[in-house]
Amino acid sequence: MQKTLFDYIPEDATNMVQIILANDNLVVKVKNERKTKHGDYKELPRGKHQITINSNLNPYRFLITLIHEIAHFEAYNKFGRNIRPHGKEWKYTFQHLMLPFLRPEIFPNKLLPLLANHFKNPKASSDTDAQLALALKQFDEGPPKTFVFQVPLGNTFKLYNGRVFKKGNKRRKRFECVEVKTGRLYLFNPNAEVEIINK
């Protein structure tokens, strides 16, 4: 049986999402995992609009991503095409759309304070909110994951694409990591998913 959009979100969010999506010009597609993004929004020809979301997201991240992308659509409709993609108009729209979902029937109690804090000033990606991103990852399916902040200083780790890095010191929020092959320095989010390489 083929999954519908509503199979990916918490059950108690279904009615509210149906009301928000009651617009004939907006198409939502569920896609296979993309490593560089959770979802996206784009305007299509002839006045149509499309949102895509990764199928591998847990229900809570899927819902947040869906509302994030709907906020782009609604912000452009209300404020025009010249606004910044994640500017104040989008932030306001995202907050306004998300607020009714921040309830214990929809999100686990341990996520609600983190979500309330995040939505005081939502960022372009919830992944930049390290505390919230890590809390959301606890609900992912599959084997436990390892994150950069768990890698011992000086140890090497591998990314999903095979690139190998050596972990360095922490700056204010991110870790300095040197790519072994090139010697170039990169800054990593503490909750980036990695695989530790045993020496």
Of the two residues 150 and 103, the one the predictor is more confident about is 103
State whether 87 and 59 are in the same domain: yes
Same domain flag for 40 and 124: yes
Q: What is the pLDDT of residues 107-157, one digit of tens each?
A: 999 999 999 999 999 988 877 787 888 889 889 887 777 888 889 999 999
Tell me what the mean pLDDT of segment 99-111 comes to.
96
32 — pLDDT class (breaks 50, 70, 90): confident
Question: Final residue of a domain: which of 137, 159, 188?
Answer: 137
Whether 91 and 157 map to the same domain: the answer is: no
pTM: 0.80
Mean pLDDT, range 73-81, rounded to an integer:
90
Positive or negative torsion for Cα 81, 133, 156, 32 = negative
Query: Looking at the structure, do residues 129 and 39 belong to the same domain, yes or no?
Result: yes
Strand partners, 186: 177
Domain edge (last residue) among 95, 112, 137: 137
CA–CA dist 163, 172 (Å, integer): 24
Same domain, yes or no: 10 and 56: yes
Instruction: State what percent of residues in the chain have pLDDT above 90.
Output: 58
Backbone angles phi, psi at 12, to 5 degrees: -70, -5
**One domain for residues 97 and 46:** yes
Q: What is the pLDDT of residue 199?
A: 56
Q: Does residue 165 sit in the same domain as residue 68?
A: no
- Pick the last residue of a domain from 112, 137, 162: 137
**How buried is 45 (Cβ within 10 angstroms: 0-12 exposed, 13-18 middle, 19+ buried)?**
exposed
Domain carrying residue 185: 146-196
Confidence (pLDDT) at 63: 97
Any idea what the CATH number is for the domain that residue 171 is in?
Answer: 2.30.30
Q: Which amino acid is at 49?
A: H
Q: Is the pLDDT of residue 24 over 80?
A: no
Q: Which tens digits make up the pLDDT trace of 34-53?
A: 777 889 999 888 888 899 99
Number of domains in the chain: 2
